[in-house]
Structure 1
């Protein structure tokens, strides 16, 4: 395995950014396919078995598909050697691989920087960062607490969005600041940091939200006051711990809040603006750190009156109460009984299954309430519970009807799985892909609305809806997106190491190990089954692929490999994560 450090270089902007390029580097771990298959031979030939270690590559790869942006030969080997518990604990303790310093160094002096550098940093982390579980958790949380470069004056503000992604990654499992002070990875801390993020302040328009003015008729903006409850914490109706709705005496769901609650929240959430000043604008040509630093309180603009908020709890108000009022409100929201099942269910959907049983949700929600050490809202413990639940285990018995374990792969995760397993890298060390939604209907921090790319309660029309089966990811899958994703994956496969059409910017996959097997169609398909379907390929698909490879000229082994990969990556069996 080789470790290479690639320094940032560009063609069009190299001259004016040379000082940034020298200051920033990406670390990319490159593992060739030949070495990768050597790992498989080593670990399939027998080693001391850890008590909770996967018993096969297939079992390990399945877990890593849920817990990372895709398994690699090295990560499969590591998981099999240390076991699930130790692997998760190692991941929980890893420091965050950040985005913002990289993006800031490139874009701090650029008037209209766009999002290309942020995309580049995100893909580099998704494919190469060692803290895979933390990065995957940030991806999951970004689809619950949505900030988007499509909205809220954020399209030309990649620095604050990169910092927002770093907030999600740091707060997922806890972190140490530059003063070596530890910040626990709890839901309250996450909610607090999101609520003070300039990205969210722009997204949901509460930056410079001022107290009511009875003379002019001004009242505070209510966007965040509503969405922080509806989408980020408790939802619209009261829930039991297994996410089932609570009903009133007439058998009707019980609303969690009223319009009066939203209005009171908005009054609490007044007085926040940039650290550089209430009326400052730290974006643009003269960027300042205030663009991404947490928002702060300006007492003169805060509503000092008493507010009756969620569940009729009181935020007292008074002089110099801006920061305490906001902290009180966020604590009230974070402590609501709905938060545990609401967050537990959505994290299950993002990591493992679109249709978890009520018992699965309740088990995870119970960990949210108490991590075993008396800590409420420990997100690391919650994610660990999601991934190690008996319902998510390898070869677990199928859940009772009407629940079906599994989920559609998110379109972008089809690409990251391919890139990670076959050690994709560009000669210039960059992962340049600045418009992924054009082919994958997804973009990191680029949802079309605060409701994400898809809703957690989406029922795909037809058989799934009739059976009451949720399928959030299917909301972005249609005739156009399925074809565009398949076409781009084909292009990515054809960008293999050694293709003379590649440029220094081509993110090339290493297919050399597969090409070495191309003379034996059965062996090649078996290896593809191992690499990308983790041993789950049906006999029917196996036959189709073997026949396909056999029909292609043996004189062109690369064409045999790319042809088989094209069909596999477009197949229903690759599209579903089980």
Structure 2
């Protein structure tokens, strides 16, 4: 089947599923009552675009209009109700007969969904979760296994807000996400617990996943209060969340799991089988049978045929741990809204997490609808010199490109979004981190006044860990190339992902109008007066013979490289 036809059929199926399931997925709106949302419908395009910059891969003119018409809460409710737009069925169709496939088809599927999929909040949540529960094509031979990775990403898109598998509904909470991630063959290979075997006297079970599922995927290293502040012992020292013996206990819980096609099978290669991506199953003869005491003093059953019950006991103990709410809530705020959420912001979201049993639909609603998120302003106590919190975050490099492509309706004549390795220019690629610690750390302190201020608290800046002189230039250069691939450029090919700059070109004769357009389209009305003046002045100094297209491209090039576009507020 041709990719463009497959895309069309996939889109039609997604639309039908959305219509059929619109009532089935009905989220109760009671949970919004805990948040003060002033003027639920955005009062301006700027307010709507700012929200969409946080909640999607970038605003579009149509989505701004729709959001202004229905309001924040209804927009979120509709997004939570949509089925996930998936990658794996498409990638599998293209790669099933290839002996050593690379990642190009998976990259194309990711960009297609990021730019065109209607379930933007699910797609953004999957992107956020992929940076918390990291699996990577750089590890464990996964570079030749795009189908397993595509299915892993689909788990991150489906699970957070709940989904139907036939007539069976899977609730969208953190336990379910942990459970499905743990059974994923991609994660099993990434963190080396696939074919993990019980102790035999000489060898002990692999502890890799047992450590990272606690340290990185759920509860962190030290006990936290709901506002993410550290809990201290009588000596003023942070209290660890777990001891090394707990890692060993969980390593024994995670024994016996492998492909559905057999414990020692390898369902990859020229004759692919579904076992490559289907959830792993447990082979009891390889599972540790002794009852293990896991977190919160829960005891895994142990004994014959205890594989599944041991796993559920261990994961429930993690999902119910007091730390998971503040630990995950803070990272979600960082990924969507601001790098330095205030303690009261974290506590409000963390409380929703705890009270809802980890319902991620309610949690992301709390993140996006919080007063600080919607206004971008902080309570007075956080702006004093002793605190000096900064609201906002560095825009992720790859999200600069998606914002450009979404607003200006980027598309190729062949219907594909072929971009094999964005990491070269954007220091990021979907499921392409060099390690399980993601592209950047949530606690990264940038050098200079943010990370080491003369007055006030240090400010975290996770994205700045991959933004440097080299990456800033490579990102700007690639964005410049993208805007030169505009609709109508005679150098375009059928595979060129061309942006539609016609509305800007029509206004290029008036410098102020053009700058106002760009402020509206890409900066959600936040352009400073000084930047406005500089751009208008620059346009006035261009040669009189400069074409409208040249004027637009020159202005876009400066805006896309500017600090004001680089920082999301």
Contact 2:395 2:566 in 1 (8 A): yes
Q: Which residue of 2 aligns with 1:223?
A: 208
Give a deviation string over 1:379-406, Cα, whole Å, max 9, x none. 0100000000011113645661322111
Distance 1:100 1:432 in 2: 16
Q: Which residue of 2 aligns with 1:40?
A: none
Contact 1:275 1:293 in 2 (8 A): yes
Contact 2:378 2:391 in 1 (8 A): no
> Residues 26 and 319 from structure 1, CA distance in 2 versus in 1: closer, same or farther, beyond 3 angstroms?
closer
Distance 2:246 2:49 in 1: 46
Are residues 1:436 and 2:442 paired? no
Distance 1:206 1:325 in 2: 15
Contact 2:46 2:524 in 1 (8 A): yes
The correspondence for 2:368, drawn from 375, 382, 387, is 387
Distance 1:114 1:479 in 2: 30
Q: Which residue of 2 aligns with 1:269?
A: 254
TM superposition shift of 1:334: 0.7
Give the CA RMSD over aligned residues: 1.5
Are residues 1:328 and 2:319 paired? no
Distance 1:24 1:222 in 2: 45
Q: Which residue of 2 aligns with 1:357?
A: 342
Q: Which residue of 2 aligns with 1:43?
A: none
Distance 1:251 1:507 in 2: 56
Distance 2:205 2:138 in 1: 23
Which structure 2 segments of 5+ residues have no match? 13-37
Q: Which residue of 2 aligns with 1:506?
A: 496
Which structure 1 segments of 5+ residues have no match? 1-5, 10-20, 29-49
Distance 1:23 1:174 in 2: 24
Q: Which residue of 2 aligns with 1:39?
A: none
Contact 2:376 2:392 in 1 (8 A): no
Q: Which residue of 1 aligns with 2:16?
A: none
Q: With structure 1 as the length reference, what TM-score do the two structures score?
A: 0.91
Give a deviation string over 1:133-159, Cα, whole Å, max 9, x none. 000000000000000000022000000
Q: Which residue of 2 aligns with 1:190?
A: 177
> Residues 575 and 291 from structure 1, CA distance in 2 versus in 1: closer, same or farther, beyond 3 angstroms?
same
Q: Which residue of 1 aligns with 2:3?
A: 8
> Residues 128 and 398 from structure 1, CA distance in 2 versus in 1: closer, same or farther, beyond 3 angstroms?
farther
Contact 1:494 1:562 in 2 (8 A): yes
Are residues 1:456 and 2:442 paired? yes
The correspondence for 2:282, drawn from 275, 297, 305, is 297
Contact 2:376 2:391 in 1 (8 A): no
The correspondence for 2:190, drawn from 189, 203, 209, is 203
Contact 2:198 2:286 in 1 (8 A): yes
Q: With structure 2 as the length reference, what TM-score do the two structures score?
A: 0.92
Distance 1:153 1:447 in 2: 14
Distance 1:419 1:566 in 2: 14
> Residues 26 and 176 from structure 1, CA distance in 2 versus in 1: closer, same or farther, beyond 3 angstroms?
closer
Contact 2:504 2:514 in 1 (8 A): yes
Are residues 1:147 and 2:100 paired? no
Q: Which residue of 2 aligns with 1:133?
A: 121
**Matched residue count:** 534
Give a deviation string over 1:293-321, Cα, whole Å, max 9, x none. 00001001000012122243322311110
The correspondence for 1:161, drawn from 149, 152, 158, is 149
TM superposition shift of 1:258: 1.0
> Residues 500 and 456 from structure 1, CA distance in 2 versus in 1: closer, same or farther, beyond 3 angstroms?
same
Q: Which residue of 1 aligns with 2:85?
A: 97
SS in 1 for 2:142: coil
Q: Which residue of 2 aligns with 1:545?
A: 535
